[in-house]
Amino acid sequence: MNKLFKEIDTLQQEINALRPLKTEELPLIKNYYTIGLTYSSNALEGNSLTETETKIVLEEGITIGGKPLRDHLEAIGHEDALAFLYTCVDKKTVEEKDILQLHRLFYYRIDEKNAGIYRSVKAYITGSKYPLPIPENIPALMHNFILLLPELYKTKHPVEYAALAHMHFVFIHPFVDGNGRTARLLMNLILLQSGYNIAIIPPVMRHAYIASLEKAHHDPTDFITLIGQMVKETQKDYLRLFA
């Protein structure tokens, strides 16, 4: 794993050498990753919009014929949550209110009552053998989760820190829906706060992603490695844009 982290750090140095970006380049790059991350994160959860359709919905505000309304709302909500995420990068810390706001912005068009609110009902993950926490325990678990983040920041490589934060959050599963997307937003916020690029997990990696998360209940190595590989691939894609 250390070898992977060194490769990531080397690539990040190459990316940093390209900075600062030209004024006209910055919005183009931001838009490129907004569409890519929105498409991929939603597709991992079963959203039917293609990347091109996601681009049309976000840039032109046009609905796609034959596609569910919810799929459109998820795309718009994820874009809003990502825009808020960028406002949190400079403060270098993650607060509970930030996580609640990320979820609220993503989810309020779909279910306003439960947007940004911890679940009050039991939840289950199909195919997982590990039970999720009961609703009564979620506030305390989230409080402890927030307290854990500074310790991970101090003791782990930033990519491992981001992966572990994602993992612990998903294990708590604090919301009625949208936990995976909120976890990936949180992970990418941590990466950006640490000076790294975001990580896009393409839908083709869905099985490996879910399997490594399930295994992470007793050994997080595979999940951390997978996230590291996704960071690396996204870095290489970024560098290709400037080749």
Cis peptide before 20 (omega within 30 of 0): yes
The total number of residues written for the chain in this structure:
243
Of the residues 143, 173, 217, 218, only one is catalytic, namely: 173
CA distance 104 to 97: 10
Give catalytic status of residue 173 as yes or no.
yes
Among residues 73, 99, 74, 97, which one has the least CA distance to residue 189?
99
Give Cα separations from 133 to 172, 176, 212 (angstroms): 6, 12, 20
- Contact between 189 and 230 under an 8 Å Cβ cutoff? The reply is no
The three-point CA angle 68-55-234 to 5° equals 115
So which residues are the catalytic ones?
173
